[in-house]
């Protein structure tokens, strides 16, 4: 099932907020519609946000520089958003056909995901137990995904993996999206609460952790869904490889370290009311709801991009693939 489809001049978006209970496509029209789709996570996952924003830049009339500025504020952490709007703005300024450029971003992502999945698969073994956090599958990208790519590609190639999926509080992308995607693909998947990651590691059920990323700093620190860094600490303790998978476009060479990454803060109702029949805390109770955290590069075993597998020292490795430009 495709998350973003461009057909006969219309963009169709699979509304991820309705999954896994309803598979419904919506058709954003105005710039406010596009902004709302990104902000409310109807489209989410760093590469998918970039693809969607590319189409928005192509399909919406008006001042493109202003539009880029407006869309970029919808979600500040995923670098793919500003990367895609920047690329579309340059295409506009040099007189290129914008819809062709948006389709090119979409197609290139498919190619990148395929390569990332191949590289990731080369690090795994048939029968491995894999822990995932958040959702970094086809829903978060174009095809295969990044963090889930090796599992989905591996399934096609006849591998048997046992996935353990953190539910990923507070927005439950692991429960609602990852378990849905893996079930549909026929991958063995077991949903666990976030605070069970330690136990399944201790019980020897996990051979590797696979996660996506929203921004890779020049020194190899990464931002990903809140809770990722805790999983990385646990993986280090239990001596389990912790792999980060993401396309080249997720590397932000202008961001020296993880401390320089802007972390998006979201509404407290996502914690207190969103998934419950009744609120689970008093209205006056304060909440702190950062959407992402930063994982220190020292906790990462390898960063897997479409340009290859990078191990420590990450700064040098990331610089090396930059020179492929």
- We find the least distance from the C-beta atom of residue 251 to ligand MRU, in angstroms, to be 13
Q: Is the peptide bond before 170 cis (omega within 30 degrees of 0)?
A: yes
Could you give the CA distance from residue 198 to residue 196 in angstroms, rounded to a whole number? 5
Both tokens of residue 203?
């019980």
- Residue with smaller CB distance to ligand MRU, 49 or 57: 49
- Count residues binding ligand MRU (CB under 6 A): 19
Q: Which residue of the chain is nearest ligand MRU when measured via CB?
A: 212
> Out of 109, 128, 194, 214, which one is annotated catalytic?
214
Could you give the CA distance from residue 104 to residue 59 in angstroms, rounded to a whole number? 15
Q: Are 272 and 285 in contact (CB under 8 A)?
A: yes
Q: Does 76 bind ligand MRU (CB under 6 A)?
A: no
Q: Does 109 bind ligand MRU (CB under 6 A)?
A: no
- We find the least distance from the C-beta atom of residue 177 to ligand MRU, in angstroms, to be 8
CA of residue 155 relative to chain centroid, distance? 20
Window of 59-67, 139-147, 152-160, 229-237 that interacts with ligand MRU by CB under 6 A: 139-147
By rule CB under 6 A, what string of x and - marks binding of each residue 167-186 to ligand MRU? ------x-------------
Q: Are 238 and 101 in contact (CB under 8 A)?
A: no
Site for ligand MRU in 202-221 (CB under 6 A): 212-214
- We find the least distance from the C-beta atom of residue 208 to ligand MRU, in angstroms, to be 16
- Residue with smaller CB distance to ligand MRU, 212 or 317: 212
Q: Does 249 bind ligand MRU (CB under 6 A)?
A: no
For the packed helices 31-39 and 64-72, what is the interaxial angle rounded to 10 degrees?
20
Q: Does 146 bind ligand MRU (CB under 6 A)?
A: yes
Q: Does 134 bind ligand MRU (CB under 6 A)?
A: yes
Q: Does 120 bind ligand MRU (CB under 6 A)?
A: no
**H-assigned helices in the chain:** 31-39, 46-59, 64-72, 79-93, 98-121, 149-156, 173, 179-185, 197-202, 228-237, 269-272, 314-322
For the packed helices 46-59 and 79-93, what is the interaxial angle rounded to 10 degrees?
30
The answer to whether 214 is a known catalytic residue is yes
Paired strand residues for 290? 265
Q: Does 140 bind ligand MRU (CB under 6 A)?
A: yes
Could you give the CA distance from residue 244 to residue 87 in angstroms, rounded to a whole number? 25
Among 141, 165, 229, 305, binds ligand MRU (CB under 6 A): 141
Note the residues at the interface with ligand MRU (CB under 6 A). Answer: 41, 44-47, 78, 134, 136, 140-141, 145-146, 173, 212-214, 224-225, 291
Q: Which residues are catalytic?
A: 214
């Amino acid at each position: 099932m495709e998350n973003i489809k461009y057909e006969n001049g219309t963009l169709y978006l699979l509304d991820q907020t309705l999954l896994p209970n309803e598979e419904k496509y919506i058709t954003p029209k105005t710039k406010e519609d596009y902004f709302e789709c990104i902000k409310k996570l109807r489209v989410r996952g760093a590469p998918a946000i970039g693809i969607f924003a590319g189409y928005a830049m192509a399909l919406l009339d008006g001042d493109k520089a202003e539009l880029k500025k407006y869309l970029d504020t919808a979600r500040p952490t995923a670098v793919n958003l500003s990367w895609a709007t920047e690329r579309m703005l340059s295409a506009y300024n040099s007189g290129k056909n914008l819809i062709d450029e948006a389709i090119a971003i979409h197609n290139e992502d498919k190619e990148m995901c395929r390569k990332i999945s191949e590289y990731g698969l080369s690090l795994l073994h048939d029968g491995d137990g894999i822990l995932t956090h958040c959702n970094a599958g086809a829903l978060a990208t174009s095809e295969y995904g990044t963090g889930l790519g090796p599992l989905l590609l591996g399934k096609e190639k006849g591998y048997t993996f046992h996935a353990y999926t953190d539910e990923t509080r507070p927005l439950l992308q692991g429960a609602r999206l990852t378990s849905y995607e893996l079930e549909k693909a026929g991958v063995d998947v077991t949903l666990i609460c976030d605070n069970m990651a330690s136990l399944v590691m201790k019980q020897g059920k996990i051979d590797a952790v696979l996660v996506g990323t929203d921004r890779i700093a020049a020194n190899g620190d990464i931002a990903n869904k809140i809770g990722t860094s805790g999983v990385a600490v646990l993986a280090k303790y239990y001596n389990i490889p912790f792999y980060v998978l993401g396309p080249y476009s997720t590397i932000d060479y202008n961001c020296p370290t993880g401390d320089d990454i802007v972390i998006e803060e979201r509404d407290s109702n996502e914690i207190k009311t969103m998934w419950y029949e009744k609120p689970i805390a008093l209205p006056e109770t304060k909440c702190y709801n950062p959407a992402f955290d930063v994982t220190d590069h020292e906790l990462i075993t390898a960063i897997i991009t479409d340009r290859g597998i990078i191990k420590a020292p990450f700064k040098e490795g990331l610089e090396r693939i930059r020179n492929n430009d």
